[in-house]
Structure 1
């Protein structure tokens, strides 16, 4: 993702066509969305399960709700 962002910055500096820049921005958004999904899945499979076993699932659920907002 970092490389894509640098690439978009350079494309703007170089005066690349707007549709080409927008296409790269869409790719960055997709990568960010996939990263968020993976992080959320990992959180559900580890942190939430641990919280249920430790009896503090309400706190973890509250944190999840905050991050979704």
Structure 2
């Protein structure tokens, strides 16, 4: 992988054997095998949060609201873990191979914020 030029397209193979094209443009588009699952999880969490909002508007018991809010937070946290795993398996592997210290530093900053 060393010596890859920005804009040059090359192939990667996912752990399941799926191959996908990848390039190192200035605007790096992240394409991962779990994108659809992440979007579905975010949609569900968004809908769940809306129902928690309605619970508050309806004056529901605070304990019930907190339990449901905890479920939303957990769903978002688990979705973040999926994104992190995908990022490490794809982008960070590429960054290490290419010696892209900035990408690794950005991941460290993101992890610090994520686990607060």
Residue segments in structure 2 that go unaligned for 5+ positions in a row: 1-44
- Return the alpha-carbon distance in structure 2 between the equivalents of residues 33 and 52 of structure 1: 26
2:49–2:72 CA contact under 8 A, matched in 1: yes
- Deviation of 1:60 after TM superposition, in Å, equals 1.4
1:47 aligns with 2:91: yes
Question: Which 4+ runs in 1 deviate beyond 4 A?
Answer: none
Higher helix fraction (1 or 2): 1
State the SS of the aligned residue for 2:66: helix
Offset, 1:6: 0.5
Flag the structure with higher strand content: 2
Indicate yes or no: 2:69 matched with 1:14. no
- What is the number of residues matched between the two proteins? 68
- TM normalised by structure 1 equals 0.90
Q: Distance in 1 between matches of 2:67 and 2:51?
A: 12
Deviation at 1:50, TM superposition (A): 1.2
For the aligned residue pairs, the C-alpha RMSD in angstroms reads 0.9
Matching residue within 44, 63, 66 for 2:106: 63
